[in-house]
Amino acid sequence: MRIFSGIQPTGRKHLGNYIGAIRQYVEGQDRVADGESIYCIVDLHAISVPYDPAELRERVYDTTAILVAAGLDPGRCILFRQSDVREHTELTWLLSAVTAPGDLNRMTQFKEKSAKQRELVSAALFLYPVLQVADVLAYKADEVPVGEDQRQHVELMREIARRFNERFAPGSPIVVEPEHRIPEVGGRVMDLQDPTAKMSTTSGSEQGTVLVLDTEKALRKKVMSAVTDSGSEIRRAPGKEGIANLIEILAVVRGSDPAAIEAEFEGSGYGDFKRAVADEVAGYLAPVRERYDGLRADEAELERILEAGAEKARAIASVTVAEVRDAMGIGPAGPA
C-alpha cells in the first residue's frame, strides 16, 4: 500500500488545507509502512499562474515547516520538493501522448482559474492536470488523500493510467490506477463569511479564512463573526450552510460525528456554539503554531529534509519512468 499527495506552496495554509489534506497526510503516515507515504510540495504547479520567484522559495520552506510541525516525520515518510525530481516533468510529456485536449478542457479548476486571471492564461495551467497525473503515477501510488475539490483530478488520473496500460502495456499494467481518499466529514471546508464558497487564501475573504498560524485572538474573532442565519437551531439543513460548516469543523476537530454535535448543542444559542468551536479549533491548531517557529527558523535543516526526500523519491520515480519509456519505444530497448 502506497500513498501519494501533493500540496501547493502558494498562499498561507488555512483550516481547510489542514482538515482536508494535512491531517490526512499524518494519518496516512501512520497507516502504512515507513517510506510508503510520499508527500510532495508542488512548486512546479505553482508557476502555472502569476507568481513572485523569491516568494515561491519562501513559501516552499513555510509549507515544509507546517507539514513537519503538523506531525509528518521525514524519517518515516518521503517529503520532497517537486522540482527536485525531474522525472515528474518527463513523465508529464510522455503521458500527454495519451491525454486528449477534451480531458483538460472539462477540468473545473482550469475553467475557474483561467476565468479569474487578468494576465496570460498559460499552457502550464491547461496542462496542470497532466502534471498531477504524473506526480501520482510516477510512484505507482494506490491512494491519493485529497479534498473534495480534487475528486475530478483523481478520476482523470485513473482514466489516463487505464488508457496508458491498454495501449502500451496490455495484460501487464505498468502504472497503477489510484483511488482517492476524501474525508467523509470536512472534505470541503467553507469560507466563514461566505459559506457557499470554499475557504481559500487566494479567492476567499480574509475574515472568513482561518489560517493555521493565526494567533488565538485572530482565530477566535473569525469564528465568532462567522456568518450563520436568522434561525437558532444548530443543525444541518438547506439555508443553514454557515452553521453546517461549523458543525463539520467541530466534528473533525473532536473526531466526532456531526449528528452527535447537533445533539449536544440542541437548544443552545449560536453564541455558545461558536465559542465552543473557537475553543476547540484554537486548541487543535496550537501545537502546530508552537512547533512551527522553531522549524521555520532553520532553513538549512528544511533544505536537508527536502533534499533527502528528493533522493528517495527519485529512486522510485526513475524506475517507473524507465518502464514507461521502454513500453513507449523511447530510447534504447530495455533488458529483455
The answer to whether the predicted template modeling score (pTM) of the entire model surpasses 0.95 is no
Q: How many domains does the structure of the chain reveal?
A: 2
Res. 334: pLDDT tops 80:
no
Average pLDDT estimate for 283-309: 96
pLDDT band at 45 (very low <50, low <70, confident <90, very high): very high
Is residue 168 included in any domain, yes or no? yes
Residue 40 maps to a domain: yes
> Helix axis angle, 270-297 relative to 241-254, nearest 10°?
50
Same domain, 306 and 267: no
C-alpha span between 336 and 278 (Å, rounded): 62
Model confidence at 119, in pLDDT bands (50, 70, 90)? confident
Same domain, 278 and 310: no
pLDDT of residue 109: 77
For residue 33, what are the contacts with CB-CB under 8 A and spacing of at least 6? Answer: 1
The answer on 14 and 124 residing in a single domain is yes
- Rounded mean pLDDT of 65-73? 96
Q: Name which of 169, 225, 218 is nearest 192 in CA terms.
A: 225
Q: How confident is the model at residue 63 (pLDDT cuts 50, 70, 90)?
A: very high
305 and 252 both lie in a single domain: no
156 and 254 inside one domain:
no
Instruction: State the pLDDT at residue 183.
Output: 76
Res 122 pLDDT > 90: no
Q: What are phi and psi of 203, to 5 degrees?
A: -125, -5
Do 319 and 246 share a structural domain?
A: no
Same domain, 39 and 144: yes
- Asked if 58 and 128 sit in the same domain, the reply is yes
Whether residue 127 is found in the same domain as residue 106 = yes
d(CA 136, CA 146): 12
Residue 64 has pLDDT above 90, yes or no: yes
Average pLDDT over residues 1-8: 95
pLDDT of residue 321: 98
Who has greater pLDDT, 278 or 118? Answer: 278
pLDDT for the residue 336: 62
In this predicted structure, which of 5-14, 32-41, 155-164, 243-252 has the lowest mean pLDDT?
A: 5-14
CATH of the domain at 229: 1.10.240.10
Instruction: Tell me if 205 is assigned to some domain.
Output: no
Q: Cα–Cα distances in Å, from 318 out to 90, 177, 233, 274, 290?
A: 10, 19, 56, 50, 38
d(Cα 186, Cα 146) in Å, to the nearest integer? Answer: 11
Domain that holds residue 258: 216-294
pLDDT(11) > 70: no
Quick: pLDDT tens for 213-264: 999 999 999 999 999 988 889 999 999 999 999 999 999 999 989 999 999 9
State whether 284 and 323 are in the same domain. Answer: no
Sheet of 78-81: strands edge to edge? 78-81, 37-41, 3-7, 143-145, 179-181
Query: pLDDT tens for residues 75-88?
Result: 999 999 999 999 99
Residues above pLDDT 90, as percent of the chain: 76
111: confidence class by pLDDT, cuts 50, 70, 90: confident
Q: Note whether 143 and 162 are same-domain residues.
A: yes
Q: Is residue 279 part of a domain?
A: yes
272 and 317 part of one domain: no
Q: CATH code at 148?
A: 3.40.50.620
Residue indicated by cell numbers 456568518? 227
Residue 107 lies in a domain: yes
Q: Kindly report the average pLDDT of the chain as a whole number.
A: 92
